[in-house]
Structure 1
Amino acid sequence: MAISIQNHQKKAKIDLRRLRRALKKLLLHVDCADSDISLLLTDDDEITGINERYLGRNYPTNVISFSFLEGEYSGINPGLLGDVVISVETALRDAEKGGIPLEDELDFLLIHGLLHILGYDHEHPDPDRTQEMQKKEQELFFLLHGYPLDL
């Protein structure tokens, strides 16, 4: 298992070892212990650029994920899961608005991005698929924290 974490932001001090431990625990739980994944922590300007370049959106989002398990070249290296990109700047605003610690917000976004990589979809027309993703988010958050995520 290779976990690459890059921190390109200066909006908040982030415990990268804690995030690495959380991601490792999540990968073990979803049967991806032998897989590789990368995490990029960034700010709103950089995630806006990524959104614009790859998704045609000219605004920041809290998380973007890129799955290497889908598409034309998905079979080249099945051990590569994909990339998760989190705007810490947006996460800070969301955590403050929700009255939760930044660490909880970051863990939720990490879980959310990982589940997208694994094929979960909360925007699917089938409400059962949305509910399935939300249930898995709750399960994984509880795994990390021992208390439920208050959505």
Structure 2
Amino acid sequence: MQELPIEFFTEEVEFEVKNKEKVKTWLSEIISKYSFELESLNYIFCSDEYLHQMNVEYLEHDTLTDVITFDNSDFEGVIEGDVFISIDRIVDNATTFNITPQEELHRVMAHGLLHLLGFDDKTPEKKELMRFKENECLELIKL
């Protein structure tokens, strides 16, 4: 089987993705479902502080967030991007939503990928669609 060009990194946190190969396969299935080609996809797990600084510096938003996605692709229909995820937000959100951190992590990983697939959540209607698409993605995961 060919190695999938999906990588996991950390910045300022101790974190390891569980079931890495299954998670990579799941992410690849989502990409295939939308008929995109996977060039490269990096997930960078970091602290609130690290992601907040990126939010301020690159997006001019002075708020905490759980995910920031950077689309680096030059071509339509190609996934090449970086998804930064705050592990601190994942843990806090999991408590707030009364789910496991693992469930929240998978939702946010799907959310970041959906941004690369062309979905946004800037209006209430688009947020509702994004949540629906996240749920569809979560139904595909086989861990």
Alpha-carbon separation, structure 2, partners of 1:45 and 1:23: 27
Match of 1:149 in 2: none
Contact 2:44 2:83 in 1 (8 A): yes
Structure 2 counterpart of 1:7, from 7, 10, 25: 10
Runs of 5+ consecutive residues of structure 2 not aligned to the other structure: none
User: Which residue identity does 1:104 align to in structure 2?
Assistant: E
Mapped partners of 2:142, 2:100: distance in 1 = 12
Task: Say whether residues 1:139 and 2:113 are aligned partners.
Answer: no
State the alpha-carbon separation in 1 of the partners of residues 104 and 121 from structure 2.
Answer: 18
Partner in structure 1 of residue 40 of structure 2: 36
Corresponding residue number in structure 1 for 2:62: 58
CA distance in 2, matches of 1:23, 1:113: 14
Distance across 2 between alignment mates of 1:79 and 1:101 = 32
Counterpart in 2 of 1:21? Answer: 22
Letter paired with 2:92: R
State the percentage of identical aligned residues. Answer: 24
Hey, which bits of structure 1, 4+ residues long, moved more than 6 A?
Answer: none
Report the 3-state secondary structure (helix = DSSP H, G, I; strand = E; otherwise coil) of the residue aligned with 2:80.
strand
In 2, the alpha carbon distance for the partners of 1:131 and 1:103 equals: 22
1:144 alignment partner AA: I
**1:61 alignment partner, SS class:** coil
Question: 1:95 aligns to what?
Answer: 94
**Alignment check: 8 A CA contact 1:5 1:20 kept:** no
Distance 1:29 1:105, change over 3 A: same
Residue type of the partner of 2:11? H
For residues 113-132 of structure 1, what are the structure 2 equivalents within 5 Å? 113-124=112-123, 127=125, 129-132=126-129
Tell me how many residue pairs correspond in the alignment.
137
Cα 1:2–1:58, aligned 2, differ >3 Å: closer, same or farther? same
**In 2: Cα distance, 1:121 partner to 1:20 partner:** 27
**1:3: how far off?**
1.2
Q: Deviations over 1:20-59 (max 9, x none)?
A: 5323312223214643100000001100111011100122
CA distance in 2, matches of 1:78, 1:121: 16
Check the 8 A contact 1:19/1:107 in 2, yes or no. Answer: no
Q: Calculate the aligned-residue CA RMSD, in Å.
A: 2.4
